[in-house]
Each structure stands twice: as C-alpha cells, then as structure tokens.
Amino acid sequence: MEFNTEQINSWKKQHGKDAIFLIVVEDKSCAIRKPTRQEFSFVSGIKDPIQLSETLFKQLWLDGDKEILEDDDYFLPAIGKLDEVLKQKEAEVKKL
C-alpha cells in the first residue's frame, strides 16, 4: 500500500514528526506510530508476548494492507519490527 504525502504529513502533525513508521513485509505494507505512555501502561499487564505485541500493534496501526493484521505470514514479521519503533533515547546515570 502506498501513502500520499498529505496523509503522512497529517499523521506527523497529529502524532509527531518522528513518530510515523512504514513497515513492509514482501508486497504488503502498513503505517504505524510510536506508542504513548498510556498505551505502554495498558499492554504492560498482558503476559503473553504475542498477545501483547498484537494488542500494541493494533493500537499503533494507522493504515495499510489488512493482510498484515490477519495473516500470520505477514503479521509475525511485522511485529518483529516493533522493537525498532519502540526504540527510545538513550539515558545514562552518572555518580555525583
């Protein structure tokens, strides 16, 4: 699926300029956004890692080929890329 510039700019305005990601699995693609703190909190109680990833992925979904959500051959590789979306800034601790 292709997304036009107007649509992408609208998402960036709504969610932040560095918060929109394209995930491509073979011939299917989708756009997702970075999660909020509240979304992390919501999924933190889910013990099953696949269910956690599925719940989070559906919350972050903006648009795309539905096969990514419905077909495991597309879904599993897509959720494997969530780590890159969830990557945060590095923090450091210094002794004073």
Write out pLDDT tens, residues 47-63: 888 898 899 999 999 99
| Token reading at 69 | 């959500």
pLDDT attached to residue 42: 82
Distance CA 10, CA 13 (A): 5
Percent of the chain with pLDDT over 70: 100
Better-scored residue on pLDDT, 46 or 54:
54
Better-scored residue on pLDDT, 86 or 8:
8
Q: What integer best gives the mean pLDDT of the chain? A: 92
- Residue 23 pLDDT greater than 90, yes or no: yes
Residue given tokens 């051959």 in the structure block: 73
Cβ–Cβ under 8 Å, residues 19 and 34: yes
pLDDT attached to residue 59: 94
> With bands split at pLDDT 50, 70 and 90, how would you rate the model's confidence at 17?
very high
| Token reading at 86 | 């969830």
pLDDT attached to residue 62: 98
Secondary structure letter of residue 87 according to DSSP: -
- Model pTM score: 0.85
